[in-house]
Amino acid sequence: MEQIIPFNKPHITGKEVHYIYDAVASGHISGNGKYTKLCQSFFEERFGFKRALLTTSCTDALEMCALLLDIKAGDEVIIPSYTFVSTALAFVRQGAKIVFADSRSDHPGMDEERIEELITAKTKVIVPVHYAGVSCDMAKIMTLANKYNLFVVEDAAQGIDSYYINTDGTKAALGSIGHLAAFSFHETKNIQSGEGGLLAINDERFIKRAEIIWEKGTNRAEFFRGEVNKYGWVDTGSSFLPSEVTAAFLWAQLEELDLIQEKRILLWNTYFSAFTNSDLREVRLPSIPHYATVNGHMFYLVCNNEEVRSGLISKLKRDTIHSVFHYLSLHSSPYYKDKYIGKELVNSDKYSQAIVRLPLFFDLSVMDVELVLKKVKEFVK
């Protein structure tokens, strides 16, 4: 029987259960214990965030951003339409008006050249999404934010261990550039804890309040540091922190971050280098801007149209290979389409119809990738 190649399979390093056992045996299984602190310090030291707070999801980290920035009814937030629901939802829940930006023609990320025309007196935030872990042009976005006094929240859900390359060749980790950033450890991401996320804070003005919002609007963190002698309700907030069980799981993954990244990038490169664009006919390779690195989060192909994509997905399915399409533009979604009053977003809609994602996960072998490639080549020939 032919082997089935799934689209994704969460990687288990083997140490997760060991650390969870340790957390349980220690008697501290609620949040903000030893493993939460280990993970947070790891992120701060390795990626240069001023403060890192684990959250129960990236969705939650984005909701914290909307609270921290005091987003209110009438505020405008610029986000790409080609993204996951949570990018918009966090701000919609605060009553914000979402101003959807189109994708670039060469890449699904938001078109940096078209942001300025969307800015009004009510604009408060720009939310770039680093699709597939490939950086947006952060220099351009930060320049705009400075010019109009806006905040930047990076949706770095897919962006762990990926970088923006400055003009002088130095690199800045995704999530370390905007005022705030959110990461995901959902089981479909490079590093996972089933469900999980991280708020990265780069603007120090937000640190103290973030700790309060994180722990149900209380100043519990200050209390445990001995800075106040009792703690109580001081602000808005929610229960955004994960338990130590989740943090212990995540710690096992972080210990193997380099190994995981090396393998994923190897698989990504195997896909990417198997084609020259001329082999591909009705399909093209992802384009990686010169200022962006690849973190092996996702490998996709861009089909000429929806029919080609359906054909490719069906062909792979017959060969027991599971490939999937990706986002439906948010401005055309059932929840939003009647509320949307902006322009047509041609590139977002194009990517909604054109992208096919191929299997890419740690336990996939180079041989498996070669089999997928062989089948894709049969289709495009």
Ligand X SMILES: *Cc1c(COP(=O)(O)O)cnc(C)c1O
Task: Name which of 199 and 369 has its Cβ closer to ligand X.
Answer: 199
Does 129 participate in binding ligand X (rule CB under 6 A)?
A: yes
Does 66 participate in binding ligand X (rule CB under 6 A)?
A: no
Using only C-alpha atoms, the chain has a radius of gyration, in whole angstroms, of 21
For residue 300, list its beta bridge partners.
Answer: 357
Q: Figure out which of the listed residues 40, 59, 218, 219 binds ligand X, where binding follows CB under 6 A.
A: 59
Does 300 participate in binding ligand X (rule CB under 6 A)?
A: no
Does 135 participate in binding ligand X (rule CB under 6 A)?
A: no
Q: Which residue, among 314, 318, 315, 301, has the nearest Cα to 353 in the 3D structure?
A: 301
Contacts of residue 275, defined as CB under 8 A and 6 or more positions apart, other chains included, come to 285
Does 87 participate in binding ligand X (rule CB under 6 A)?
A: yes
Does 36 participate in binding ligand X (rule CB under 6 A)?
A: no
Task: Name which of 10 and 311 has its Cβ closer to ligand X.
Answer: 10
Q: Closest distance between ligand X and the C-beta of residue 59, in Å?
A: 3
The kind and range of the H/E element at 164 are strand 163-165
Give the Cα-Cα-Cα angle 243, 246, 252 (nearest 5 degrees). Answer: 140
Residues 160-189 that bind ligand X (CB under 6 A): 184, 186
Does 65 participate in binding ligand X (rule CB under 6 A)?
A: no
Q: Closest distance between ligand X and the C-beta of residue 346, in Å?
A: 21
Q: Figure out which of the listed residues 158, 190, 219, 329 binds ligand X, where binding follows CB under 6 A.
A: 158
Q: Figure out which of the listed residues 20, 23, 58, 138 binds ligand X, where binding follows CB under 6 A.
A: 58
**Which residue ranges make up the site for ligand X (CB under 6 A)?**
57-59, 83-84, 86-87, 129, 155, 157-158, 184, 186, 197
